[in-house]
Amino acid sequence: MSRGQTTKSTASLRHRLAERGIDSSLLMLVPALIFAVALFIYPFSYGIGLTFQPSAATQAQWGTSIFANYIAFFNDPFIFDSIWLTMRLALPVALFNVVVAVPVAFKLRHKFVGKKFLTILLVLPITLGTVLTAQGLLIFAGRQGWLNRFLLDIGLIDAPLALVNNYLGVVFSLIISGFPFAFLLISSYLSGIDPSIEAAAKTMGADWLQRFRRVILPLLAPGLATTFILTFVLAFSVFPSARLVGDAMGSTRVMALMAFRAFGEQNDYPMASTIAIMMGLVELVVIAVVLVWRSFMYKGSTGGKG
Amino acid sequence: MSHSTSTFDSLQLKNVGRSFGGQDALVGLNLTIRQGEFIALLGPSGCGKSTALNCIAGLLPLTHGEILIDAERVDLLPAERRDFGMVFQNYALFPHLTVEKNIAFGLQMRKVPKPEIKRRVAEAIALVKLEQHATKLPGQLSGGQQQRVAIARAVVVEPRLVLMDEPLSNLDAKLRLEMRTEIRRLHLALGLTTLYVTHDQEEALSMADRLVVLREGRVQQIGTPEELHNSPANAHVADFMGYRNLIDLTVTAVDGSAVTIGDHALSLRGTACEPVAVGARVRAAIRPEDLLVVPPTASARGDNTVSATVTVVEYHGREFAVGVTTATGRSLHVRSDHPPVVGSTVELTADPARVLVFPSEAIDLDSLSVDERELAEVRQ
């Protein structure tokens, strides 16, 4: 083709469309499209619509504007404070999962005796449901649980530690279910970094801390951001454990619980939708912050099998 | 680059070995490298040459032996404290750092003052002619440019020893020749002691002061390029040094080192590299360039000849590479200054001094399985 001017293509329309990725293989996307529309787009739009149709009770208390639900959300401290309560759980848990998974994944990169066993042990909690985890925690760490009785027996403590039915209980439960994901994700990101890059840093005189800080961490940063986002979202939408091992009306009165309360106990479906939408917005804000941070990091290939 | 770092008189590898789970990858490597020498470790893939390099670099712990620099043990030092520079086969550049920062990395690790880092990095970039690419990321460079960065990065710290692990194997043929000259030029300019791993005999012969030929983890021969080229120590080294014609024959006459070898169809005079007796099975090694087609115009039969049928003729510019088959079905690679007709019978001639005769490695037929024995008999 000559530079500066385009020659008219003589290929058939079908051929030209195929060149742009439009051909019959697009039909393979149909099932996914049906599911997306039926199970996400339609209910989601419907839910947004509901938030602008406040119930009579809400209108009586917060005015008749179509934004009454949102006015209620921001002005009712009982509801609004749940953002902070959820954040207080999800942020430290997500941070802990990422920060602790890094050294573990690092160690498990290399072959050693018992590596497989340890990996299985770390990933196994994925198979446990939240309810099972919560049940286990109650039995293990409750006031009369094995842990407290053991600590009392050996004289390490005088009174049972309050490890469940409070903030700590939910943190434990979220770590148990979220850590395996963080570990698996970071392991795969780490294996995407060509080991010879680290070897090169080594031959150039960098000790392990310098290698980690100057080479591994910058290359791993995008993966850490993604992992953080995923474990954060997982923890932010916490519901069953907040109720089962938490203090549902106190320190772990999370947003999901508030939405459930509006829907299940007060029959206020529009308010429940509003809380759900706000939950999504808060998550989006956190994700946006993380992605902005990530955009300052190197994003290209890491040389490995990626 | 004016800064001379710690130099040494000799680097000694003493009985260096490495095994992986009972499998020996490298056995008894003894080598003394003098300051400023360019040594090539040569061998086919899986011969242990990369293992040797990684052991010396400190990326793999030794399982046997020791490495000494002027009587000081370095094999116990971790890689980051050996002060060696390494060029990796896949370059292993830091993908998130610019060319400049890649090159500066080693200097920063050594806590060199900033202005000096700046000066030395600029010098190194000029040395590998990458001035226009100094602020680019490795991903924006071609393979050859990336390799230049890798080399600059390894030499900028003026290490005691530069290790290169098949640095040219990922480049195309033309670039490989260019970089070969470039590396040689750098070595002469900087005088850095270099250990270069390659599977390419031509590369090794053209660049190195001395070659170490490895096979199955064991040293076969250590010598200058001339020594290896002209007098390989055994048939394996000969094979690796471009003696493409390896013919299994029997000794029919011995006169000092001059021997006559042959089978029922052909007879050749050659030079024995080790004493052999009449009746012994031997392997003759001849380079294609030393086995020539006798021109039809030549007077009658030449001296020391074999007749064979032409099967393939390739044009190589100044000469022809010819594939021939002897009466007993052996395929030989020979050279000719004229294009012989495919299917015709030609006479081949060789200088007896260039026909190297090595004793065959004894194959104990009884120790082989039935299949292997049949194969061995077919080969004979």
| DSSP notation for B134-154 | TTS-GGGS-HHHHHHHHHHHH
Q: Closest CB to A197: pick one of B81, B92, B106.
A: B92
What is the architecture of the domain spanning B10-230?
A: 3-Layer(aba) Sandwich (3.40)
The reply to whether B82 touches chain A by the CB within 8 Å rule is yes
B61/A contact by beta carbon, under 8 A: no
The ipTM of this complex is: 0.80
CB contact under 8 A, B153 and A204: yes
Interface check B77 vs A, CB under 8 A: no
Question: In this model, does residue B1 exceed pLDDT 50?
Answer: no
pLDDT band at residue B4, thresholds of 50, 70 and 90? Answer: very low
Angle of helix A68-75 versus helix A77-107 axis, rounded to 10: 70
Number of A–B residue contacts, CB under 8 Å = 76
> Cα distance from A202 to chain B (closest Cα, Å)?
5
Check CB contact of B96 with chain A, cutoff 8 Å.
yes
Residue A210 to residue B109, Cβ atoms within 8 A = yes
Determine the Cα–Cα distance for residues B190 and B185; give it in Å rounded to an integer: 9
C-alpha B349/C-alpha B324 separation (Å) is: 13
Q: Mean pLDDT throughout A201-213?
A: 92
Distance from C-alpha of B141 to C-alpha of A40, rounded to nearest angstrom: 44
Residue B380 pLDDT greater than 70, yes or no: no
Residue B120 touches chain A, beta carbons under 8 Å? no
Is residue B300 predicted with pLDDT exceeding 70?
no
Residue-level pLDDT at B125: 94
Q: What share of chain A in percent tops pLDDT 70? A: 95
- What is the pLDDT, as a whole number, of residue A305? 42
Candidate from B85, B90, B139 with C-beta closest to A203: B85
**Is the CB of residue A158 less than 8 Å from the CB of residue A186?**
no
**CA angle centred on A59, ends A56 and A60, rounded to 5°:** 85
Q: What is the pLDDT of residues B163-197, one digit of tens each?
A: 999 999 888 888 888 889 989 988 988 889 999 99
Mean pLDDT score of chain A: 89
Helices within chain B (DSSP H only): 49-57, 99-109, 114-127, 143-155, 173-190, 201-207, 225-230, 235-240, 370-379
Q: What's the token pair of residue B315?
A: 């044009």
Q: B218: buried, middle or exposed (CB in 10 Å: 19+, 13-18, 0-12)?
A: middle
B182 to A182, B90, B179, B197: CA distances (angstroms): 47, 18, 5, 16
For residue range B115-157, list pLDDT tens digits in order: 999 999 999 999 888 999 999 999 999 988 999 999 999 999 9
**pLDDT at residue B368 is higher than 70:** no
Q: Do B59 and A302 touch (CB under 8 A)?
A: no
Structure tokens at B86: 């390494």
Q: Residue A176 in contact with residue A135, Cβ under 8 Å?
A: no
What is the model's pLDDT at position B303?
Answer: 75
Q: How confident is the model over B26-57, as pLDDT tens digits?
A: 998 999 999 999 999 998 888 889 999 999 99
pLDDT band with cut points at 50, 70 and 90 for residue A306? very low
Tell me if residue B41 falls in helix, strand or coil: strand
CA distance B134 to B103: 10
- Per-residue confidence at B3, pLDDT binned at 50, 70, 90? very low
B109 touches chain A (CB under 8 A): yes
Residue A288 has pLDDT above 90, yes or no: yes
Give residue ranges of A with CB < 8 Å to any B CB.
194, 196-197, 199-207, 210, 214-215, 218-219, 297-298, 300-303
Å between B176 CA and nearest CA of chain A = 22
What's the pLDDT tens digit per position in B244-281?
888 888 998 888 888 999 887 788 899 998 888 888 89
With CB atoms and an 8 Å threshold, state whether B90 touches A301. Answer: no
- The token pair that represents B368 in the structure block: 């082989």
d(CA B293, CA A183): 68
DSSP per-residue letters across B236-280: HHHHHTT--EEEEEEEEEEETTEEEEE-SS-EEEEEESS---TT-
Domain with CATH 3.40.50.300 in chain B: 10-230
Contact of B42 with B198, CB cutoff 8 Å: yes
User: Which structure tokens are listed for B242?
Assistant: 């471009």
DSSP state, residue A193: B
The predicted structure's pLDDT at residue A1:
43
Two structure tokens written together for A157: 């403590």
Judged by DSSP in three states, A276 sits in: helix
CATH fold label, B243-379: OB fold (Dihydrolipoamide Acetyltransferase, E2P) (2.40.50)
pLDDT bucket at A63, cuts 50 / 70 / 90: confident
Residue environment code for A158-191, b if the CB has 16+ CB neighbours within 10 A, otherwise e:
eebeebbbebbbbbbbbbbbbbbbbbbbbbebbe
> Which pLDDT score is estimated for B87?
94
Which residue in the set B85, B95, B105 is minimally distant from A300, CB to CB?
Answer: B95
**Contact criterion met (CB < 8 Å) for A204 and B105:** yes
User: Is pTM, for the whole model, over 0.90?
Assistant: no
Mark yes or no for CB contact A303/B95 under 8 Å: yes
Is B268 exposed, middle or buried, given 0-12, 13-18 or 19+ CB atoms closer than 10 A? buried
Task: Find chain A residues with C-beta within 8 A of B80's C-beta.
Answer: 202-207
User: Is the pLDDT confidence value at B369 over 60?
Assistant: no
How confident is the model at residue A281, as a pLDDT? 94
- Please say if the pLDDT value at position B109 is more than 60: yes
Positions of CATH 2.40.50.140 in chain B: 243-379
Stronger pLDDT, B324 or A5, i.e. the higher one = B324
For A254-266, how does the pLDDT look when each residue is reduced to its tens digit (9 = 90+)? 999 999 999 988 8
**Maximum mean pLDDT: which of A107-121, A131-145, B91-105:** B91-105
Residue B25 in contact with residue B63, Cβ under 8 Å? no
Q: Which residues of A265-284 are buried (b: 16+ CB within 10 A; e: fewer)?
A: eeebebbbbbbbbbbbebbe
Q: Give the residue from B147, B154, B168, B4 showing the smallest Cα distance to B85.
A: B154
Mean pLDDT estimate for chain B: 87
Of the pLDDT bands very low, low, confident and very high (cuts 50, 70, 90), residue B108 is very high
